[in-house]
Amino acid sequence: MPSEADGRSRATTRAGRTPARSSRRHLAGGAAALLLASGLAACGGGGSDVPVLNWYTNPDSGGQAEIAARCTDAADGQYRIATSVLPRESSAQREQLIRRLAANDSSIDIMSLDPPYIPEFAEAGFLAPVPEDVAERVTEDTVESAIEGSTWDGELVAVPFWANTQLLWYRESVVEAAGLDMSEPVTWEQLVEVSQEQDVRMGAQGIRAEALTVWLNALIESAGGSIIQENAEDPADIELGLATDAAVRAAEIMHTVAESGQVSPAFSTTGEGENAVAFESEDAGFMVNWPFVWPQALAGVEAGTLDPSVPEDYGWTIYPRVDENEPAAPPYGGINLGIGAFSEYPEFAYEAAECIVSDENQAYYFITNGNPASSTTVYDDPEVLELFPMAPAIRESLEMAAPRPQTPYYNEVSVGIQRTYHPVTSVEPGATGEVAAALINAVLRGEQLL
């Protein structure tokens, strides 16, 4: 309904007031309304004195938002948790958070952090210290790799939330035909051989992205080496293990897989998602990938886009070995919770974090979103075991898993690796590692671009 003032202003315009003056007044009125509206919007959502904790989450299937609602209820009016979704790529999540924290952003209370970036956040002083009693509680019955991934400089700096690991996925029909005993550990060379024999596809991540570093790290760790050997926190003296025997062995395997003739023709642009889709096709044989491939296949069956016989043919076991006699060191991933150093409510934020990572919520998250728990007790949950028959393998893999190199300069190390080891077909065992080490060292000394 037009207000009286509106009516008057129209009347005076008609009565001869200059249009310019009238439109100026309209403009001013509009601006005032806009300011008022934005002011109201800024106040909106508050309405009371209940502190709001902002939780920056990585994209998922809505699980973190639901957990936030549950923990808001559990807080009994002490605080409210609001979630904001970060970009899909973990590197982009880091970019967004770190730039805001560099400006001392106090609105960042809880962050879902990809473990390799945690040392950088901790070293820069962007994470609020974990109280001792909280540290004790959140590490109880927690898988070792998740604790390691939340630790920097000997101290727990984040709260382990969910822990991810890659399994070796295979087609039961293929291993049966090949007579391969999957109850025994298998090696990469065996897989290449069987794939060639049976003429089936083999899936690994050859894309120039974080996934490539994940693969290389798992291979080097499985061969008994490490990407970073010494001085992880000193950019000028960081000692890389990319030219060691273990790294050469890892490069050999990468090269063998890439040149096996059994990988996707788009191997140099294939990541986890593409491999998961390819594994649903008829010519699939083996693949190393995260457990999300299982719920994805089941969802496909439910949607009617995938034949139920496909996931029935899925088999899984621990990550392949590099050397027959040495246990594999599977990749470790997942999300841990960091509390912003500039948060106005760090105590509430830690209380909320403890609620978020409770066994109950981890089990809920595992079941609904397919993200494995870091708490060992969740793996005994009958519902989890029913929906995720591979849960015991995930737990075992998590205990064996090795984190990616822990350093505040992880981005440089990882991008340097991606630049030199991509495309994998051009990897030369021995030479590529040396080139990568020289590049990363020069970049960290500020002598080269990346």
Partner 1 sequence: MSTTTLPPGQKQRPVSAPPRQVSDRSRSERRLAWMLAGPAFVVMLAVTAYPILQAVYESLFSYRLTDPTNREFIGLDNYWVVLTDPLWWQAIGVTVFITVVTVAVELVLGFALALVMAKALRGLRPILRAAILIPYAVITVVSAFAWAFAFDLTTGFVNNWFAWLPGISADTDWFGGTWSSLLVICLAEIWKTTPFISLLLLAGLAQVPEVLQEAAKVDGATWWQRMTRVTIPNMKAAIMVALLFRTLDAFRVFDSIFVMTGGANGTESVSFLAYRQTIARLEIGLGSAVSVLLFLAVVLIAFGFIKGFKVDLSQARGDK
Interface positions with partner 1 (CB under 8 A):
91, 95, 98-99, 102, 120, 123-124, 126, 208-209, 264-269, 274, 277-278, 408, 411-412, 415, 422-423, 446-450
Cβ–Cβ < 8 Å for 367, 385: no
- Minimum Å distance from CB 411 to partner 1? 6
Cβ–Cβ < 8 Å for 437, 226: no
Token pair listed for 364: 């809920």
With CA atoms as reference, report the closest residue to 224 among 199, 198, 250, 201.
250
Closer by beta carbon to partner 1, 36 or else 266: 266
- Minimum Å distance from CB 293 to partner 1? 15
- Minimum Å distance from CB 10 to partner 1? 27
With CA atoms as reference, report the closest residue to 321 among 152, 413, 187.
187
- Minimum Å distance from CB 105 to partner 1? 13
Closer by beta carbon to partner 1, 274 or else 326: 274
Closer by beta carbon to partner 1, 82 or else 98: 98
Residues forming a β-bridge with 201: 284
- Minimum Å distance from CB 359 to partner 1? 34
- Minimum Å distance from CB 223 to partner 1? 26
Closer by beta carbon to partner 1, 96 or else 229: 96
- Minimum Å distance from CB 72 to partner 1? 32
Token pair listed for 87: 């970009």
Measured CA to CA, the distance from residue 68 to residue 82 in angstroms comes to: 7
Cβ–Cβ < 8 Å for 134, 346: no
- Minimum Å distance from CB 121 to partner 1? 8
With CA atoms as reference, report the closest residue to 239 among 432, 408, 430, 437.
437
Measured CA to CA, the distance from residue 63 to residue 117 in angstroms comes to: 22
Cis peptide upstream of residue 311 (ω within 30 degrees of 0): no
Number of helices (H), then strands (E), in the chain: 20, 13
Closer by beta carbon to partner 1, 91 or else 229: 91
Closer by beta carbon to partner 1, 50 or else 124: 124
Token pair listed for 358: 């409770």
Measured CA to CA, the distance from residue 208 to residue 419 in angstroms comes to: 7
Token pair listed for 119: 């040392």
Closer by beta carbon to partner 1, 229 or else 264: 264
Mapping DSSP to helix (H, G, I), strand (E, B) and coil, where does residue 237 land? Answer: coil
Closer by beta carbon to partner 1, 374 or else 411: 411
Measured CA to CA, the distance from residue 302 to residue 160 in angstroms comes to: 32
